């Protein structure tokens, strides 16, 4: 499973766009990139998943360059409620595969 | 709506006790997982199961065992609880594509 590296913490203000980058130099051909969000005292929540180029949903966008060695989670116009830990995961989407969570990025949004 | 429930939110046990943590999902998911989460260490996988009666060790299986007799239920067992097993325990489930996991609310276990 590919190892991921992401910043330990980030700070932002309400209304700003936040970009969290994840490095995964050893990503394999059949690996997907997935991001989770976790609020205090809750379990993680799936945000978005992608394989290449760009994926967008109602919560976030995920940008993946052609070499796939990194990815960027983009949160548009953050609010205080986006304060959470964000995890980047890389691995196969095959049945029987387990997720490996790293330490994540703690995003703090201030007013 | 997707739901994963765990038997207790908070649990206090004594060293040496046998502890059962239960997890139930109502989504007919094939895969189920047990993690523990500790400050500064993130989530670590203990065991997972991709089918009834099947189990696979995760990163930190020592001191734990699991049971999956029915598809919807996955139990984590601490055979003899120790203080270093004080932690938040999170259960999750997923369909055949394992990357979209649904997590339960967690059980905060304290072993004294």
pLDDT of A91: 84
pLDDT of B40: 80
Q: What is the mean pLDDT of residues B79-95?
A: 95
CB of A93 closer than 8 Å to CB of A5: no
pLDDT of A3: 82
Whole-angstrom distance, CA of residue A41 vs CA of residue B20: 21
Local confidence band at A92 (pLDDT 50, 70, 90 cut-offs): confident
- Residue A1, pLDDT above cutoff 70: no
pLDDT of A48: 94
Whole-angstrom distance, CA of residue B99 vs CA of residue A47: 11
Q: What is the mean pLDDT of residues A15-39?
A: 93
Residues 26-65 of A with CB under 8 A from B: 32, 34, 41-46, 49
Q: What is the mean pLDDT of residues A84-108?
A: 83
Closest by Cα among A101, A109, A107 to A34:
A101
Residue A36 forms beta bridges with which residues?
A: A46, A87
Q: Which residues on A lie below 8 Å from B50 (Cβ)?
A: 95-96
Whole-angstrom distance, CA of residue A73 vs CA of residue A76: 10
Whole-angstrom distance, CA of residue A106 vs CA of residue A18: 12
Whole-angstrom distance, CA of residue B33 vs CA of residue A99: 9
Per residue in A42-89, pLDDT tens?
A: 899 999 999 999 999 999 999 999 999 999 999 999 999 999 999 999
Whole-angstrom distance, CA of residue B75 vs CA of residue B102: 16
Asked if B43 and A32 come within 8 Å (Cβ–Cβ), the reply is: no
Per residue in B18-73, pLDDT tens?
A: 999 999 999 999 999 999 999 888 889 999 998 898 999 998 999 999 999 999 99
CB of A101 closer than 8 Å to CB of B44: yes
Local confidence band at A102 (pLDDT 50, 70, 90 cut-offs): confident
Share of chain B above pLDDT 70, in %: 96
Token output for B65: 């065992």
């Amino acid at each position: 499973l590919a190892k991921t590296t992401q910043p330990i913490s980030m700070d932002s203000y309400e209304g700003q766009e936040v970009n969290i980058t994840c490095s995964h130099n050893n990503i394999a051909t059949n690996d997907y990139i997935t991001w989770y969000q976790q609020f205090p005292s809750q379990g993680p929540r799936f945000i978005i998943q992608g394989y290449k180029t760009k994926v967008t949903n109602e919560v976030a966008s995920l940008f993946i360059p052609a070499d796939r060695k990194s990815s960027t989670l983009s949160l548009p116009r953050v609010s205080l409620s986006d304060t959470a830990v964000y995890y980047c995961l890389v691995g196969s989407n095959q049945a029987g595969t387990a997720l490996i969570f790293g330490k994540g990025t703690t995003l703090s949004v201030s007013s | 709506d997707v739901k994963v429930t765990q038997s207790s939110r908070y649990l206090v046990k004594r060293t040496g006790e046998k502890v059962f943590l239960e997890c139930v999902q109502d989504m007919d998911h094939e895969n189920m997982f047990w993690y523990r989460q500790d400050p500064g260490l993130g989530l670590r996988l203990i065991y997972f199961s991709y089918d009834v009666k099947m189990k696979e060790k995760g990163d930190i299986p020592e001191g734990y065992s699991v049971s999956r007799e029915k598809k919807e239920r996955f139990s984590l067992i601490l055979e003899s609880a120790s203080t270093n097993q004080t932690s938040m325990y999170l259960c999750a489930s997923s369909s055949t594509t394992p990357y979209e996991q649904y997590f339960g609310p967690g059980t905060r276990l304290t072993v004294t």
